[in-house]
Amino acid sequence: MGLDDVQVSYMTLEDIDDVMIVEKLSFTIPWSKNALIEEVLNNRMAIYITAKIKGKAIGYAGMWKIFDEGHITNIAVHPEYRENGVGSRLVEKLVSIAKEQGIVKMTLEVRKSNAAAQSLYFKYGFREQGCRKGYYSDNGEDAIIMWKENV
């Protein structure tokens, strides 16, 4: 697989089944299918994108636009496609969309133990700005709060 084979586009309802596979393989407490459908269809603040190969979603990312801020809700890549630049393509696209929509800063929470994700976010200008103690309900792990200024 080369990155040229990966197409990044806005998520549609047709992508949900593939996205649910990625979601379940990526998170100990995955979002429900109904929650994702609700985000795509009815949440006017939500922006969701997918990374696809040959029409099959292998990764996705979501962001809520709240006034002039973007809050990244999820970024996940199917385990078979990790460490190939797919996560980078998703972050790049979210930042590009943020610029287009007048978002001036972006934020996210990431597990304290997830060094790979933190490294990805640092690469795109996110910086650690705080901690949410016991944020993750599955194991009580802390979340690092990261911000990107001047999108």
Q: Delimit the domains of the chain by residue range.
A: 3-107
Please state the pTM of the whole predicted model: 0.94
User: Quick one: pLDDT at residue 149?
Assistant: 95
Please list the active-site residues.
Answer: 109, 121
C-alpha span between 125 and 31 (Å, rounded): 27
Report the DSSP beta bridge partners of residue 76. 60
- Of 96, 97, 112, 52, residue with least CA distance to 78: 52
User: Quick one: pLDDT at residue 4?
Assistant: 77
Question: Which portions of the chain are predicted below pLDDT 50?
Answer: none
C-alpha span between 65 and 106 (Å, rounded): 9
User: Quick one: pLDDT at residue 2?
Assistant: 67
CATH architecture of 3-107: 3-Layer(aba) Sandwich (3.40)
Reduced to 3 states, what is the DSSP secondary structure of residue 19? helix
C-alpha span between 33 and 88 (Å, rounded): 25
User: Quick one: pLDDT at residue 1?
Assistant: 60
User: Quick one: pLDDT at residue 117?
Assistant: 94
C-alpha span between 144 and 121 (Å, rounded): 11
**Which residues are CB-contacts of 137 (< 8 A; sequence separation ≥ 6)?**
29
